[in-house]
Chains A and B, each alone.
Chain A
Amino acid sequence: MMAGLDFKTPVTKEQEDETVVTHNARLGILLFVVYVLFYTGFMGLSAFHPAIMSTPVLGGLNLAIVYGFLLIAAALVLALIYMMLCKKSSQGSKK
């Protein structure tokens, strides 16, 4: 049997509190907007001011490297924040 063929397998849905769902969705969109702004800043600088990206900014490293690494780190930090705040919301609703 080619197991990967059947995507119609029933999936058990979790019981969810509507307020928790709304809270999580809002939080997700908020954090998404924060990251989009950060990412847009990088795209804008790279596309329209590439020379600025060669400026040393932190420990002698240029802005391109620092900003690039910060974007990668920011994805992880925002994901952690999301996870932690979502959990709090869930616990709160249980109380």
Chain B
Amino acid sequence: MIHNSSAIAVAIFLLFVGAVLGLSFYLGAKAKSSKDYFTAGGTIHWAVNGVAFAGDYLSAASFLGICGMIAFYGYDGFLYSIGYLAGWIVALFIIAEPLKRLGRFTFADALDNKFNSRGIKLTAAISTLVVSIFYLIPQMVGAGALVQPLLGFPHFVGVITVGLVVILIVVSAGMVSTTWVQFIKGSLLVGLCAAITVMILARGISTSPKGADGTFAKIFARDVQLADLTKEPAKAVIPPSSAWTNKPYVRILDKATGSVSVWKTEANGTLFETQSITVFKDGRRLVNGKPQGKSEGQEDLKPVGYAYRLPDGAPETGPLGPLSFFRTMQNTDVILWGSDKITEKDGSVTNIYYQKPTPGSDFLTPGSSPTFKKVRSNKFSDKLDFLSLMLALFCGTASLPHILIRYYTVKDQVSARKSTVVGIAAIGFFYVLTLYLGLGAMTSGMLDVTDSNMAAPLLAKSFNEVLFAVISAVAFTTVLGTVSGLIMAASGAVAHDIITNYLKMNLDDFKKVRVAKIAAICVGLLAIVLGILFSKMNVNFLVGWAFNIAASANLPALVMLLFWKKTTKQGITAAITAGMISSLGWILLSAQAYKDVYGIDPEKAIVPFSQPAIVSIPLGFIVLVVVSLLTAKKGERKTAA
């Protein structure tokens, strides 16, 4: 879809982003040294720190990805909300306090503190790099999704812009995402989402939603007979070429206008209107047979998303309460959208977006999305993907390199606990809102069928341009903050852990910073490339992968270090390596990577499901125990001798 930008939206956006960046620079500049940075944190109030937890944790993925997934598929997106929050239980009850007793809050330092092993330093640093990069990808993809409807730029321009701005920030100023900036972002994001939720409830659900400018959403034709479509002499069925044979589609050419409409044949023989976009090898793009554009003689994909049958056949509900909203949605039939791809011999590709009338009772239970549809199958093996993801989300939070560091910023354990509770409250409240936001977007009449990541900003746009600009700006600055933090963590792993500690290169502070800056540029450029490469994937799904890798590589080592006295340094190194390689390899060989990254038939994928955690986390534990027992025996023998 081509998105038009408005001057007022762009002005508000730039003003807001500028203000937050200015504040970041100002506060960042106050932290002259690492010591200043960490010790200054000791004065932060636990309540502020708790909201800052939310600012840190609620990345672009939480806002864009979950809302998009719920808007496109229903309840399955909410499973991520549940899993992300549950992860805090592991962090609070199992990991945080023992780590604080060790006096450390990063994965690498906790391990290093006990063993001082070069092997651990190297593997922990590589693990930090890999997790940071995988966490960076969805942030970059999300940035592109934000810039596209707001500024009217193509997706890749958004990705490149964010990448370059962040590299500039990190390299020139060494910006630290301070607690106060995260506090402001966290409060604004949660506050704005609460406001939008109230607006969704006040608006209710309609079978013909209209946008902020008063235009009604297009209602697509359903249950049409072929004879009715070809009544006019100018309209004729296009005989199916080889690529279209045995496909449930009928193409109708309008000889008068040259447009081609594609209709999907349903089981009962009636036809449903679709939207199609054909991309030729020379780059030409046709939407429904006409050149893509907004001018005369051109056509663009139409925004979608509306209820087609409300309870009691009413055309609209009027304002709804927080519970009656869900009750109504459960009894409402909504037009969701599926997609299909047809490749011709000449290399041209037609993407077809077709209507999927879906009852609320279906999309508000698990298994309604392509990702998790297999939970409704009767085969046990089909359910592993879902179980594996829920395990990864549960175990991943406490394994993310940048999350536990925030415990530094409060003075004592009581404050740390209090701020965690505030964090869980803010994050939990936000995740409750995601279900309202997603379902509100689903019926807003504003969705872009080509990109689920844009659902939340477009929902805001359905109310008014100012809200759209502000929410986009908040989300965009969240991306900037998260990306800066991740690039800093990754470059720190290179300069501090690999160059200084592993390679034992004696660098002074100046050289160390220079190495880190070069590493930051490399990681930033890599993130830009990956952000463009993964642009079609739901950002939430990508974050799920980052959680899988983090949980597989880091959690077994962390838990066993804290709770099993026989853990050895060799066991730790082996567990990190095994967890990281197995989860990363699994992801790269999964059906989802085949389909969305390489463009290969997903049926050819080597591994049976896309989420590796259910295999790679236990593997990490087993490897750690076996290697620790083997190496401990060696040590004992030596001592005895």
Contact = CB atoms under 8 A, between A and B. Distances in A.
Interface of A: 1-9, 11, 13-14, 16, 21, 24-25, 28-29, 31-32, 35, 39, 42-43, 46-48, 50-51, 53-54, 56, 59-62, 64-65, 68-69, 71-73, 75-76, 78-80, 82-83, 86-87, 90
A9 B516 CA distance: 18
Contact of B386 (A46, A54, A56): A46
B513 A72 contact: no
B376 A50 contact: yes
Contacts of A35: 86, 89, 93
A77 B109 CA distance: 31
B510 to A, nearest CB: 10
A24 B97 contact: yes
Interface string B85-104: 11011101110011011011
A72 B431 contact: yes
A6 B491 CA distance: 11
Interface of B: 28, 31-39, 75, 78-79, 81-82, 85-86, 88-90, 92-94, 97-98, 100-101, 103-106, 108-109, 170, 174, 176, 323, 326-327, 330, 361-362, 364-367, 375-376, 383, 386-387, 390, 394, 405, 408, 412-414, 417-418, 420-421, 424-425, 428, 431-432, 435, 485, 488-489, 491-492, 495-496, 509, 512-513, 516-517
Given A8-B109, A47-B383, A62 B330 contact: yes
A72 B85 contact: yes
A5 to B, nearest CB: 4
A31 B93 contact: yes
A25 B79 CA distance: 29
A47 B381 CA distance: 11
A46 B94 CA distance: 26
A15 to B, nearest CB: 10
B8 to A, nearest CB: 36
Contacts of A47: 366, 375, 383, 386-387
B421 A53 contact: no
Given A62-B364, A64-B366, A3 B101 contact: no
Contact of B513 (A1, A60, A69, A75): A1
A94 B432 CA distance: 39
Tell me what chain A mostly uses at the interface: helix, strand, loop, or mixed: helix
A1 B174 contact: yes
Nearest to B86: A39
Central interface residue in A7, A80, A86, by most chain B CB within 10 Å: A7
Nearest to B488: A4
Given A13-B101, A32-B90, A46-B386, A64 B364 contact: yes
Nearest to A33: B93
Contacts, number: 188
A32 B95 CA distance: 11
Contacts of B78: 68
Contacts of A8: 109, 496
B82 A5 contact: no
B106 A79 contact: no
B361 A54 contact: yes
Given A54-B365, A65-B326, A72-B432, A42 B176 contact: no
Contacts of B420: 79
Nearest to A13: B103
A68 B428 CA distance: 11
A83 B418 contact: yes
Central interface residue in B75, B79, B90, B386, by most chain A CB within 10 Å: B75
Contacts of A83: 417-418, 421
Shortest Cβ-Cβ A-B pairs, 3 listed: A6-B34, A3-B37, A28-B93
A64 B368 CA distance: 12
Contacts of A25: 97-98
Given A61-B330, A62-B365, A82-B92, 4 more contacts: A1-B33, A1-B513, A32-B93, A61-B323
A2 B516 contact: yes
Nearest to A54: B365
B330 A71 contact: no
A14 B366 contact: no
Contact of A2 (B431, B432, B488): B488
A30 B174 CA distance: 42
23 contacts: A2-B170, A3-B31, A3-B32, A4-B176, A4-B489, A6-B492, A6-B496, A11-B408, A13-B101, A14-B100, A14-B412, A21-B97, A35-B93, A43-B387, A51-B365, A54-B364, A54-B365, A56-B330, A64-B366, A68-B75, A68-B435, A72-B82, A80-B421
A68 B496 CA distance: 42
B421 A79 contact: yes
A46 B89 contact: no
Contacts of A90: 414
Given A24-B97, A68-B82, A5 B428 contact: no
A7 B108 contact: yes
A94 B604 CA distance: 64
B421 to A, nearest CB: 5
A2 B100 CA distance: 24
Nearest to A3: B37
A54 B383 CA distance: 18
A7 B432 contact: no
Nearest to B106: A7
A4 B485 contact: yes
A24 B96 CA distance: 12
A39 B174 CA distance: 41
Given A11-B408, A61-B330, A83-B421, A3 B176 contact: yes
Given A48-B383, A53-B365, A65-B326, A1 B86 contact: no
A1 B364 contact: no
A85 to B, nearest CB: 10
A29 B89 CA distance: 10
A14 to B, nearest CB: 6
B383 A79 contact: no
B479 to A, nearest CB: 18
A19 B340 CA distance: 62
A5 B383 contact: no
Contacts of A43: 386-387, 390
A2 B492 CA distance: 9
A78 B412 CA distance: 20
B104 A11 contact: yes
Contact of A71 (B38, B82, B97, B105): B82
A1 B517 CA distance: 11
Contacts of A16: 101
A59 B323 contact: yes
Given A2-B174, A2-B488, A90-B414, A62 B82 contact: no
Given A4-B488, A71-B82, A9 B38 contact: yes
